[in-house]
């Protein structure tokens, strides 16, 4: 029997939450469907992708536009390229990820008269989506068959522009290779771990300052990720004389190694969609301290049961909670056991089955 053909559409397959989700879903779905991924910009996939997944790039490299005319031309060209690929490869269903790509996916799908699912990965009130894309989102999202979001709060944000019954809540799946790499017997070190891009959104400066203020004897802080705040954080670390205690590690493909060997996970985001890093840390049994930001953490953590929730930008509360975890091994053990249990339903298989159920509604 011929497999149905589905195609994800995403900007690139660099390191990041949406990229991890597309990779995990593509790998999981490749037994049931012929899976294609259309990238706006060519890149080497950061995460491991099954050989059977077909990748197509619309352009060799990203070139920022000089003004609105050039931007329109570039996006029209992308729309035409996506549309042609869908037609030439007889794709049965297209799935867009992230606002600007969603718009292009809707237009290309409608041109080819095929069903289309779009997916938002962040909290729309706080994310820095440009005005023209916000306007197009209002006009065009209703033309998609379904919009996938991760939380009730995000669903509420989109209800004014797309019917409620077309907005589906699906959680992010945990990559199976992370589940396989989880090692409960791994020798733990006195490490507080943070994972995320070095940006305003992730607010790692709050964590670095908090770490400087607590009794951090024999402890280290490792921050995994890169971004525009790198230089600023390097200067902050120098200023606080923490060069030997805080490591800005950059990106790593072996993230499981750091989940396995760390004792505490600290998450300081100002807003999220559904935070992969927090889900993964809990999956590895790390006791977590997270900001109660919109959205995601409060759906994962019950304060004092399987982790701690603190107000956004509350450095003092972060210091109190980190100190408690550093000094109380029994509490760390309790949070660890409860954290693993609470994200069990987010393992790849059950989440993938929910996506398949959604696809089959449109493909049959």
pLDDT in tens, 38-65: 999 999 999 999 999 999 999 888 777 7
Q: What residues form DSSP beta bridges with 36?
A: 7, 54
Mean pLDDT (whole number) for 180-204: 94
Give me the pLDDT at residue 274, please. Answer: 83
Give me the pLDDT at residue 71, please. Answer: 80
Domain boundaries, the chain: 5-173+347-363, 176-345
**H or E stretch including 201?**
none
Output Rg (C-alpha) for the chain, integer angstroms. 21
Q: Indicate whether 273 pLDDT > 90.
A: no
| Distance (Å, whole) CA 14 – CA 342 | 28
Report the percentage of the chain scoring pLDDT > 90. 82
- DSSP alpha helices (H): ranges in the chain? 17-29, 68-88, 99-112, 131-140, 152-158, 176-181, 204-213, 230-239, 255-261, 276-283, 297-300, 315-327, 329-342, 348-363
Give me the pLDDT at residue 16, please. Answer: 86
Tokens encoding 229: 């705040």
Longest dimension (CA), the chain: 64
Q: Indicate whether 315 pLDDT > 80.
A: yes
| Distance (Å, whole) CA 123 – CA 272 | 6
| Distance (Å, whole) CA 114 – CA 86 | 9
Report the percentage of the chain scoring pLDDT > 70. 98
- For domain 176-345, give the CATH number: 3.40.50.2000
Q: 111-118, long-range: CB within 8 Å, 24+ apart, which pairs?
A: 111/83, 112/83, 112/86, 112/87, 114/86, 115/145, 115/362, 115/363, 116/143, 116/144, 116/145, 117/93, 117/144, 117/145, 117/146, 117/147, 117/148, 117/358, 117/359, 117/362, 118/144, 118/146, 118/147, 118/148
Tokens encoding 1: 């029997």
The rounded mean pLDDT for the chain is: 93
Mean pLDDT (whole number) for 167-186: 93
Shared fold status for 5-173+347-363 and 176-345 = yes
Model pTM score: 0.89
Q: Specify whether the CB–CB gap between 23 and 10 falls below 8 A.
A: no
Q: Specify whether the CB–CB gap between 348 and 287 falls below 8 A.
A: no
Give me the pLDDT at residue 121, please. Answer: 81
Q: What residues form DSSP beta bridges with 303?
A: 307
Q: Specify whether the CB–CB gap between 278 and 290 falls below 8 A.
A: yes
pLDDT digits (tens, 9 = 90+) for 88-128: 999 999 999 998 899 999 999 999 999 999 999 877 777 66
Give me the pLDDT at residue 75, please. Answer: 86
| Distance (Å, whole) CA 99 – CA 1 | 35
pLDDT digits (tens, 9 = 90+) for 13-44: 998 889 999 999 999 999 999 999 999 999 99
Give me the pLDDT at residue 327, please. Answer: 96
For residue 151, give the DSSP letter: S
- For domain 5-173+347-363, give the CATH number: 3.40.50.2000
Give me the pLDDT at residue 324, please. Answer: 97
Mean pLDDT (whole number) for 204-218: 96
Backbone angles phi, psi at 289, to 5 degrees: -115, 125
């Amino acid at each position: 029997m011929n497999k149905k053909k589905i195609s994800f559409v995403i900007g690139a397959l660099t390191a990041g939450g949406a990229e991890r989700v597309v990779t995990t879903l593509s790998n999981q779905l490749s037994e049931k469907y012929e899976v294609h991924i259309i990238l706006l910009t060519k890149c080497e996939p950061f995460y491991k992708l099954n050989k059977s997944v077909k990748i197509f790039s619309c352009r060799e490299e990203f070139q920022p536009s000089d003004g609105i005319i050039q931007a329109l031309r570039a996006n029209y060209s992308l729309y035409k390229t996506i549309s042609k690929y869908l037609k030439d490869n007889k794709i049965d269903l297209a799935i867009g990820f992230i606002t600007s790509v969603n718009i292009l996916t809707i237009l290309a799908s409608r041109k080819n008269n095929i069903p289309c699912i779009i997916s938002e990965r962040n909290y729309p009130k706080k994310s820095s989506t440009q005005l023209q894309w916000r306007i197009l989102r209002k006009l065009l999202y209703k033309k998609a068959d379904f919009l996938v979001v991760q939380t009730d709060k995000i669903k509420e944000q989109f209800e004014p522009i797309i019917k409620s019954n077309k907005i589906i809540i699906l959680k992010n799946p945990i990559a199976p290779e992370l589940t396989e790499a989880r090692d409960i017997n791994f020798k733990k070190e006195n490490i507080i771990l943070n994972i995320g891009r070095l940006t305003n959104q992730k607010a790692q400066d709050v964590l670095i300052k908090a770490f400087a203020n607590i009794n951090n004897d024999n402890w280290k802080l490792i921050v995994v990720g890169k971004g525009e705040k790198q230089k600023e954080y390097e200067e902050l670390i120098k200023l606080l004389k923490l060069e030997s205690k805080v490591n800005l590690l950059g990106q790593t493909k072996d993230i499981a190694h750091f989940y396995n060997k760390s004792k505490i996970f600290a998450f300081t985001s100002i807003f999220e969609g559904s935070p992969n890093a927090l889900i993964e840390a809990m999956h590895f049994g790390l006791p977590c301290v997270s900001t109660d930001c919109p959205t995601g953490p409060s759906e994962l953590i019950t304060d004092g049961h399987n982790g701690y929730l603190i107000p956004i930008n509350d450095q003092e509360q972060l210091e109190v909670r980190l100190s408690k975890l550093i000094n109380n091994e029994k509490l760390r053990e309790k949070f660890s056991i409860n954290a693993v249990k609470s994200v069990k339903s987010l393992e790849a298989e059950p989440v993938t089955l929910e996506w398949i159920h959604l696809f089959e509604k449109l493909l049959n």
